[in-house]
Structure 1
Amino acid sequence: MKNQLLIQFEWCNLLTKSTLILLVLFIIGKIAVGWVTTTPTQDDLIYERLIGEISGEFTDVR
């Protein structure tokens, strides 16, 4: 009985560790994707400048 309980505990421990690793990888992936998608590209900067010039509130952001 004690041996079976120990095996069950080890299995649960392994499952918990793998779940934590997956969770950490998921969070790192989300941060990386968020950083990539929120970093303005050259096109975004050009569009912002054009919109600013059209609306009359252009400020040079350099």
Structure 2
Amino acid sequence: MAGCEAITVGVLPTTAVAHLTTHFGAAAGAVITASCNPPEGNGLKLFDQAGYKTVRLSTLTLRWSGEG
């Protein structure tokens, strides 16, 4: 989706992003989660246009490539 617009909504529960994906008629929704939950419950969650999770990633490695 080259050229798509991202909407930043701040800190919200994962279920709120699923709802907002449908509310705004977005093509997709994405959440990066991190909490005191076990590692399996944290990570990247992606939602389709209907607000349903599309991919379950068991392991996600992020590498910081910038400064700071």
TM-score range, shorter chain: under 0.3
Bigger RCO (CA 8 Å, 6+ sep): 2
Higher helix share: 1
How does the TM-score come out when normalised to structure 1?
A: 0.26
Higher strand share: 2
Q: Which of the two has higher C-alpha Rg?
A: 1
